[in-house]
Amino acid sequence: MIVHSCDINAARLMALRENGKTRLPMKDEEKRDAAWVLVRIDLKEYSKKIIVTVTGVSDGTVGNMRRTRRRLLESNPDAALPESWAEAMAALKGREDREYTEEEREQMIAMKVAKLDEQIGKLLGDMASRQVEAACEVVAKRLGRQGLRHLVEHFAGDILDEMTDPYGLHELNDVSSDDEEDALQPEAELH
């Protein structure tokens, strides 16, 4: 028997390495659950490479687990993460299938906008002020086709209006033309 003196994080890794050896083969489900345990803990000590090496799951699986963890915590930061990988996938599917009210949806989007802006907003804004083309390239690359389509559909009209009417004169004309129409209408006779 070998006794190791180490902290809990190193002990977990040693146990997984030993259990993954041929003499004690782990089933695929057990490997995924072991990887999920390490992802769920979310210690910086457990890099993707370490998790792949000690559990035998693929790099893509660990990436998917990390995204799932992040999405579960975003949807309910106070909830405990599921114990197994299968439960985690089911929980994520259940939360994503739920119908949200328009108000809930807007609140969720506003929270995500604030979080993302906190993470990258200043950096992206600084780059845009120095080299707008570079900032736009990064945004286009990260948004992909669907994101760019959404951007154009929802913001192109505002941008075009601003470009063709930077001072908002069309709005003034709309108000004044309503007043002019009222002035041209004959006043109702009082009896």
Report if residue 191 sits inside a domain.
no
Report if residue 3 sits inside a domain.
no
130 pLDDT tier (thresholds 50, 70, 90): very high
- For 31-77, how does the pLDDT look when each residue is reduced to its tens digit (9 = 90+)? 999 999 999 887 677 889 989 988 889 999 999 999 999 999 888 88
* Domain end among 42, 63, 97: 97
Note whether 84 and 109 are same-domain residues: no
Domain count, the chain: 2
Task: Please give the C-alpha separations between residue 63 and each of 25, 48, 69, in angstroms, as whole numbers.
Answer: 23, 8, 10
Note whether 12 and 91 are same-domain residues: yes
Q: CA–CA separation, 157 vs 60, rounded Å? A: 39
Amino acid in position 163: M
Domain that holds residue 20: 8-97
Q: Where are the alpha helices (DSSP H) in 58-131?
A: 59-75, 85-97, 102-116, 122-130
Long-range contacts: 2-8, Cβ < 8 Å, 24+? none
Cβ–Cβ under 8 Å, residues 16 and 55: yes
Q: CA–CA separation, 1 vs 35, rounded Å? A: 26
Q: Residue 173: what pLDDT?
A: 59
Note whether 164 and 126 are same-domain residues: yes
